[in-house]
Amino acid sequence: MRKVPELSLLSYVNGTSNDQSKFVDDLFRGLKDYGFIVLSDHTVDQKKVDLAYDMVHDFFALDAKTKLQYHDPKGGGQRGYTPYKTEHAKDQKAPDLKEFWHVGRDLDSSSVYFNEYPKNVWPIEVPEFKNVMSELYQSMDASSVVLLEAIGRALDLPKDYFKEMVNDGNSILRVIHYPPTKGEDVSSHIRAAAHEDINLITLLVGATSSGLELLDRDGKWLPVESSPGQIVVDTGDMMARLTNDVLPATTHRVVNPDNDGEARFSMPFFVHPHSKASLKVIPSCVGEGEKWPEITAGDFLIQRLKEIGLM
């Protein structure tokens, strides 16, 4: 029975050089073989996660008219609220059964991207939402840099290769509400249709119920099991392009629950480079030739947002 590997991030952060080398090897093998790994321990304070979920419940309990005040239909869903049944998977017509909110990076005016990235918006109806989500964003961001450093070691990259790439990066904390599916056409709509993530890596902190599945290398759907306090990590399209599919973007989905009265909440952190970063294949992965032409992270993001119906 195949099972997504569980690793200890703290063995890399606090361990010996041998511990770190083992983590790098296990991380690389897990992402190469499954596209996913589960962190049994990590550097994100669970209290911050729990507080964030409280804020998520409070916001999505608001009425539709109030939530729509925070939706910008011209913004590509990059910040604020995106309504129910708006996003669809690439090459899929049926929209996903979800609504979500995006929190992005707060940049200093000295950043070259200050006027390029959309600005965050915050719901005044949930007063603590801004502080709680900002703190969780910063914590997830710091953890992602550690993970990327370990991946970089496996790929024979300079230590700060990914750190420089994601400095002022356009990373997103997405908070998702999957409402109960009662009354929906579940024969043609699911909570999140089969897709690959756009970004470098994704860190998912404890969803409130199951339903996440990955498409395994044998073509079968494999449930991704995790427990409260763990983080699920997967690789996205940008990492696949950089590594020439050595670390592929694994197809995954969120299936409908058996109990149609059950809601689901989740909080993935999508790690993006800064928009000028090149996604050209790195030297150690060129092999017999590059599969894709060079493109910047910013141009690739816009291309994919159009493909999933957000622009």
Segment 131-174, tens digit of pLDDT? 999 999 999 999 999 999 999 999 999 999 999 999 999 999 99
Which residue stretches of the chain are H helix? 9-13, 17-33, 46-60, 64-68, 129-154, 161-166, 237-242, 297-307
Residue 101 token pair? 């909110």
How many whole angstroms separate alpha carbon 106 and alpha carbon 117?
Answer: 9
| Position 90, amino acid | K
pLDDT tens-place string over residues 147-157: 999 999 999 99
Q: What is the pTM of this model?
A: 0.95
Q: In the block, which residue shows the tokens 């913004």?
A: 75
Strands 172-178, 99-103: pairing is antiparallel
Q: In what order do the strands lie in the sheet with 212-215?
A: 192-195, 252-254, 212-215, 221-223
Average pLDDT over residues 47-54: 94
Q: Which fold has domain 6-307?
A: Jelly Rolls (2.60.120)
b/e per residue 143-159 (b: at least 16 CB within 10 A): bbeebbbbbbbbbebee
pLDDT of residue 92: 86
Instruction: Spell out the domain ranges in the chain.
Output: 6-307
Q: What is the pLDDT of residue 193?
A: 92
What's the Cα-to-Cα distance from 56 to each of 51, 123, 178, rounded to whole Å?
9, 11, 12
**Per-residue model confidence (pLDDT) at position 186:** 87
